[in-house]
Structure 1
Amino acid sequence: MVLVLALGDLHIPHRAPDLPAKFKSMLVPGKIQHIICTGNLCIKEVHDYLKTLCPDLHITRGEYDEETRYPETKTLTIGQFKLGLCHGHQVIPWGDLDSLAMLQRQLDVDILVTGHTHQFTAYKHEGGVVINPGSATGAYSSITYDVNPSFVLMDIDGLRVVVYVYELIDGEVKVDKIDFKKTTTTTAH
C-alpha cells in the first residue's frame, strides 16, 4: 500500500491565506509516501511546507507559480501505475475530458492528475483515470468564485487504486471513495 497525496491550486497568499485548518490537522508528516501537486503554489513557503509532509514531492508549474524550474508535465511510476501530472491551463478547453484524454495518451499514463479548474473531478476514461483534486484552499478561479476546498489521497495497492476525496463543505470535511482497478500490468493505452 502506497499513499499519494494529490493537490493543487493553492494560490497562497494571493487568493487564500493558507490551507484550511481542518486539512492541516489531517496532513501530518510520515503518513504519505508521495505528494503530487498540479501547481499554483505561488510562493516558496508552500513548497517548503509540503516538503515537511513528505520529501518525495512532484510539482508541475501553474501559470501563477514564482518557481520557473517546475516542469510543464511530469510522469512517474508508483507501484503498477504510471501517473502523469500537468497543471491543466495548457489543456484547451479547460477541464475538457476529451482534451485531457488526449494528454493522457500523449504522456502514456494510467492516471492523469491535472488542476486549473479548482473543481474536483474524477473519470474512468479509455481504460485510464483522469483526476482533478480541485483547489486545496478553496481559492476562487476564473470559472467560479464558489469553490469548496478539496484534495485527493490515493491508496495504490497492486492493480487497484482507491481515490479518497476530501472536501470541506459548510465547515465539515466530507470524504468520498472511488475505486479503480487496472486490468493489465502495462499502461492502459
Structure 2
Amino acid sequence: MLVPGKIQHIICTGNLCIKIVVYMFSRSSIWPCLVTELQRHLEYVAPNLCYMIVEVHDYFKTLCPDLHITRGEYDEDSRYPENKTLTIGQFKLGICHGHQVIPWGDLDSLAMVQRQLDVDILVTGHTHQFKAYKHEGGVVINPGSATGAYSSFTYDVNPSFVLMDIDGLRVVVYVYELIDGEVKVDKIDFKKTATASAH
C-alpha cells in the first residue's frame, strides 16, 4: 500500500528458476538475506521468473501481498504477463523477464523496451547476472538470480537480488551479491529531476 511520506521498499529477486528448488536454495547462502529483507515489511516483490511453482508463489504472498510477477520463457502459467508496469511514488517501473530482448542483456535493446513501456526504471533479467545502468535519463536494473541459477551464458553465477528504496524523487538501489562465500552489499543512488518523466 502506498503511504504518502513513507519510503517504499521493493525487492527484485531476478530469475528464480525454481523447478529445481532444492539444488538452488542449497547452493545459495544469500537466501537468508533475501528472506530477512522480505520480512522487513516490504511493499512490493517483483520476481522475473523461469518456472514458478505454487508453493513459492504462495510463500511470497505471505511475506508481501503486493507481488508482481512476469513470465519467463519456460513458464506455462498464462496468468503471468510478459511484462508489467506499475507506479510507485514518483517512479514508473517496468518489469519483464528479458528473454524477449534481443540480443539478451543488450543495453540499447533494453533502452528500447524502457521507452516502449514508458518507464523510469526497467527491471529485467534472463542473464542471471546483476547489472545496473543509468541510461537515457532512466535506470535499467538486472537483479541477477536470488537462487544463483546458472544461465545459458555461464554456470558461474553469483546469487544476487536488489532492494530498492523509493522516497520522493530518489531511489536507492541496494545490491546483495554472494561473492566468494560472503554477502556483499553495494549501493546505487538515482535522483529523478522534478521535470523529468518517463520516456
TM-score (norm 1): 0.77
Shift in CA distance, 185/29, structure 1 to aligned 2, threshold 3 Å: closer
* Aligned with 1:53 (options 63, 69, 73): 63
User: In the alignment, is the contact (CA less than 8 A) between 1:165 and 1:175 conserved in 2?
Assistant: yes
Match of 1:88 in 2: 98
Conservation of the 8 A alpha-carbon contact between 1:92 and 1:99:
yes
Contact 2:17–2:149 (8 Å) recurs in 1: no
> In structure 2, how many angstroms separate the alpha carbons of the residues matched to 1:136 and 1:55?
19
Deviations 1:45-82 (A, max 9, x none): 22112112211000000012242210001000000000
Paired residue secondary structure (2:62) = helix
Q: CA deviation at 1:172?
A: 1.3
Q: Is the 8 A contact 1:122 1:129 kept in 2?
A: yes
Q: What secondary structure is seen at the aligned counterpart in 2 of 1:106?
A: helix
Contact 1:37 1:59 in 2 (8 A): no
Number of residues of Structure 1 aligned to a counterpart in Structure 2: 164
**Distance change in 2, residues 1:58/1:185 (3 Å):** farther
| Maintained 8 Å contact 1:40/1:65 | no
Percent identical residues: 93
**Superposition deviation, residue 186 in structure 1:** 4.9
8 Å CA contact 2:85–2:94 kept in 1: the answer is yes
Post-superposition offset of 1:169: 1.3
Specify whether residues 146 and 53 from structure 1 end up closer, same or farther in structure 2 by C-alpha distance, changes over 3 A only.
same
Alpha-carbon RMSD across the aligned residues, in angstroms, is 4.0
Q: 1:137 to 1:40 in 2, by over 3 A?
A: closer
User: Residue deviations 1:126-183, cap 9 Å, x none?
Assistant: 0000000001111100001100000000000000000000001122110000000001
How far the C-alpha of 1:42 sits from its partner, in A, is 5.3
Structure 1 contact 29–53 (Cα < 8 Å) conserved: no
The 3 A distance-change label for structure 1 pair 28 and 152 is farther
Instruction: Measure, in 2, the Cα distance between the counterparts of 1:131 and 1:142.
Output: 19
Return the structure number with greater helix share.
2
CA contact (8 A) 2:85 2:119 kept: yes
CA distance in 2, matches of 1:106, 1:134: 22
Structure 1: how far apart are the matches of 2:105 and 2:168?
Answer: 29
Structure 2 residue 82 is the aligned partner of structure 1 residue 72: yes
TM-score norm. by structure 2 comes to 0.74
Q: For residues 15 and 185 of structure 2, what CA distance do their matches in structure 1 show? A: 24
Instruction: Name the CA distance, whole Å, in 2 between partners of 1:90 and 1:39.
Output: 15
CA contact (8 A) 1:39 1:60 kept: no
1:144 aligns with 2:154: yes
Q: Which runs of no fewer than 5 residues in structure 2 stay unpaired?
A: 20-54
Q: Per the alignment, in what secondary structure is the counterpart of residue 57 of structure 1? A: coil
